[in-house]
Amino acid sequence: MAASQSELDRQIEQLKRCEYLKESEVKALCQKAREILVDESNVQRIDAPVTICGDIHGQFYDLKELFNVGGECPETNYLFMGDFVDRGFYSVETFLLLLALKVRYPDRITLIRGNHESRQITQVYGFYDECLRKYGSVNVWRYCTEIFDYLSLSAIIEDKIFCVHGGLSPPRGAGYLFGGDVVEKFNQTNDIQLICRAHQLVMEGHKSMFNNALVTVWSAPNYCYRCGNVAAILELDENLEQRFKIFDAAPQDARGVPAKKPAPDYFL
């Protein structure tokens, strides 16, 4: 176990330098992650205090900025609400760093699935092409997308705060709109104080709606490297008191050289 942990620590440090792992290491990491994730529930229960994060979208250096603001894992207990990949230049490094942290500290970081954690979406919007470009084959993309299938779909904090990537929907249909009446009914039925979700760009990093019954948290600053927005994370203390931390994109001199092929323009 000690040797395995030291190997994970080495990989984490390598990924923090934005250096991607060898294909064989990615395969082994995904196998370890699957063993952990298979035991988690579709609705994963989490204890407070915890820090909640929204979309990252492959913006690796902004993820590092998030950790600078919120604290490193495992000192900080993290919940990431999906959309780790696509659009940004560093989806491989972003997802593998979060996955390595999950394997190393399984009780201190929770990853739930976003709409971009999908084979179909990633073949169109960047992650597939990035894996092919960086590794010369689709194997790493295949290992990662298999892990997507094991991610939790939602989380509930202290039985009071429900966290999900996009929001509430009926059993059938995509792109569904929901409003305050649906939120109020869901919260009352399930004895929930707050729904926390991501998925939607918020220029101020966070936005509360429906008499503070729902909050959107967005954690990708200067989205797509051009939107000019700030990002936020939501810290909950042991009493579920809320504190938002706002941060800007990582400074240019802290970034590596991006991939030559930009992410496609789209909003999904």
Contact 225, 255 (CB under 8 A): no
**Closest among 114, 267, 108, 135 to 201, alpha carbons compared:** 267
**Closest among 115, 145, 140 to 130, alpha carbons compared:** 140
> Which pair of structure tokens corresponds to residue 233?
């994370």
pLDDT in tens, 103-130: 999 999 999 999 999 999 999 999 999 9
Distance (Å, whole) CA 93 – CA 113:
17
**Amino acid type, 260:** K
Which of 57, 116, 165, 206 is labelled catalytic? Answer: 116
Q: What is the pTM of this model?
A: 0.91
Tell me the pLDDT of the chain averaged across its residues. Answer: 92
Question: Considering the chain, what percentage of its residues have pLDDT values greater than 90?
Answer: 82
Q: Is 116 a catalytic residue?
A: yes
Q: Are strands 78-80 and 50-53 parallel, antiparallel or unpaired?
A: parallel
End-to-end Cα distance, the chain: 41
Distance (Å, whole) CA 114 – CA 82:
4
Residue 62 clears pLDDT 60, i.e. is over it: yes
**Domain 2-168+179-254, CATH:** 3.60.21.10
- Match 């399984």 to its residue by tokens: 106
